[in-house]
Amino acid sequence: MTIMTSLVYLLAAILFILGLKFLSSPRSARRGNWIAAVGMILAVGWTVVMLRGSFTLAGIIICLMGIVIGGVIGVIGARLLKMTAVPQMVALFNGAGGGAAALVAMAELLKLTDRHLAFPIGFPSVFAVAIGGISFAGSLIAFAKLQALIPGTPITYPGQQVVNGLLGLVILALAFFLLAMTSPAVGIIGLLALALVLGVTFVLPIGGADTPVVISLLNALTGLAVAASGFALNNFALIMAGTLVGASGTLLTRLMSNALGRSLGKILFGAFGQVRASTGAGAGVDTRPVRSGSADDIGTMLAYARSVIIVPGYGLAVAQGQHALRELADVLGKRGVEVSYAIHPVAGRMPGHMNVLLAEANVPYEQLKEMDEINSQFKQADVALVVGANDVVNPAARNSPGSPIYGMPILNVDQARTAVFLKRSTRPGFAGVENDLLYDPRTIILFGDARESLTRLAIVVKAA
């Protein structure tokens, strides 16, 4: 590396660090993202300048085509998606990075002929192939779960942990074996294949509600895979940026699982799967009667309430009902009803997801209350209006130790005078757990599409 290259990469690394720093404070977050992007343009742009003499014809073609195609996919994917689909797009982009890291390291390994390089180049390359492969396949499965291409509920089979453990050991053994082989091509492909399989089997048993935490973990893993490729390529920019993401991503994963009130170990190693059987015994609850109300009844009740706490959930996002919800809150506010929104840390599909969706609908920031702030106020609330949320208000998380969501902090909707659920059916939420609150005598359900229900309620409130 020339001095100029080192200096440009150093500048890029500083911009990445500042970017992350700014990203962790609400006021500067958007600027932080731009700062990091400038760092990326510097690093990539200078690399092209540096390489100008060594491009082969094929090299020019694939670089140009690759950047154009990747850029178009990236912009279209990021621009056209609905805000509700953000988590799965992050998973896809992360998988792409993991895949790239695995391929770069693979190419580096295939070039290796001198065994003396085994440690400085071979070891990190093998690591990058394995971790990048796991991250790629795992991210695709997380995407498929969130996109409902495969069921969000944990997919388990007997001996799953043992199989995953064995797979991990085989990968480890193969990795060391590879370092000692003279023509490792077949072994490398085998390693990548095994890593892909492990990525799939690792994410399959993880419950849908925990998927965001896993995406964060895979994000950190991709960072480490990138750093490992950096070791193999002797490239400061890759090591620095990859490690930054690896470290901050690991910490962020911990913060997220804390927000869920669950340990990372419990999320990753199938606590969900094991307790499944015990809740299954209580099944058949579907036949219990529920109290359903009409939009007229519920609208009138809302209009004459003193305080209403709105609990938005993923169902609201799916129905694209955030604007209708704000309109209802506005008409209630005009009548003097005290309205606030209770935001569970993982409302939606990811921490902070619901804040983004409600901000999009111009809901005043000061009406959004975090869980710890609002939980004590449910006792005084006349109505808790639950729009498309289920797991985050399920008292089973507090009361039944056998439940898969036991221990997750929830919003105390059951303490409000009346709980109103806007739901399409009494079907369980993302975690696949029955919600007893739906069958509580103080609960009224307004069946139907969340957006239509909200619009009808607003009309009733206006007329009341």
Question: According to CB under 8 A, which residues from 10 to 69 bind another protein?
Answer: 12, 16-17, 19-21, 23-26, 29-30, 32-34, 36-37, 39-40, 43-44, 47-48, 51, 54-56, 58-59, 62-63, 65-67, 69
Which part of the chain contacts another protein (CB under 8 A), choosing from 232-240, 398-406, 439-447, 452-460? 232-240
Q: Is 75 in the site for another protein (CB under 8 A)?
A: yes
299 versus 345: smaller Cβ distance to another protein: 345
339 versus 357: smaller Cβ distance to another protein: 357
Q: Is 255 in the site for another protein (CB under 8 A)?
A: yes
Strand partners, 459: none
Tokens standing for 210? 């925990």
Distance, in Å, from the CA atom of 399 to the CA atom of 279, rounded to the nearest integer, reads 13
* Options 173, 251, 278, 380; binder of another protein; rule CB under 8 A: 251
Query: Taking CB under 8 A as the criterion, which residues in 373-432 touch another protein?
Result: none
Which part of the chain contacts another protein (CB under 8 A), choosing from 146-154, 216-224, 271-279, 447-455? 216-224
Tokens standing for 137? 């396949």
Q: Which long-range contacts (CB under 8 A, 24 or more apart) does 67-71 make?
A: 70/96
Q: Is 148 in the site for another protein (CB under 8 A)?
A: no
Which part of the chain contacts another protein (CB under 8 A), choosing from 89-97, 156-164, 200-208, 331-339? 89-97
CB 371, CB 342: distance < 8 Å? yes
Which part of the chain contacts another protein (CB under 8 A), choosing from 82-90, 159-167, 275-283, 374-382? 82-90
Q: Is 329 in the site for another protein (CB under 8 A)?
A: no
Half-sphere exposure at residue 183, Cβ-oriented, CA atoms within 13 angstroms: 1
210 versus 434: smaller Cβ distance to another protein: 210
Least distance (Å) from another protein to the CB of residue 180?
A: 19
Distance, in Å, from the CA atom of 403 to the CA atom of 248, rounded to the nearest integer, reads 32
φ/ψ of 402, rounded to 5, equals -80, -10
Dihedral angle computed from the Cα positions of residues 76, 78, 82 and 85, in that order, rounded to the nearest 10 degrees: 120
Which part of the chain contacts another protein (CB under 8 A), choosing from 164-172, 230-238, 277-285, 392-400? 230-238
330 assigned to active site:
no
* Options 4, 6, 115, 120; binder of another protein; rule CB under 8 A: 120
CB 365, CB 398: distance < 8 Å? no
Q: Is 203 in the site for another protein (CB under 8 A)?
A: no
Distance, in Å, from the CA atom of 211 to the CA atom of 353, rounded to the nearest integer, reads 13
107 versus 148: smaller Cβ distance to another protein: 107
Q: Is 6 in the site for another protein (CB under 8 A)?
A: no
* Options 84, 108, 174, 210; binder of another protein; rule CB under 8 A: 108
108 versus 327: smaller Cβ distance to another protein: 108
383, with CB counted inside 10 A (0-12, 13-18, 19+), is: buried
Cα 187 from chain centre: 33
Dihedral angle computed from the Cα positions of residues 19, 23, 28 and 33, in that order, rounded to the nearest 10 degrees: 50
Half-sphere exposure at residue 320, Cβ-oriented, CA atoms within 13 angstroms: 3
* Options 147, 156, 161, 248; binder of another protein; rule CB under 8 A: 248
Q: Is 216 in the site for another protein (CB under 8 A)?
A: yes
* Options 146, 198, 206, 215; binder of another protein; rule CB under 8 A: 215
Distances (CA, A) of 92 to 190, 214, 390: 23, 13, 26
User: Of 391, 414, 436, 440, which is the active-site residue?
Assistant: 391
* Options 11, 77, 323, 367; binder of another protein; rule CB under 8 A: 77
Distance, in Å, from the CA atom of 28 to the CA atom of 19, rounded to the nearest integer, reads 9
Q: Which residues belong to the active site?
A: 391
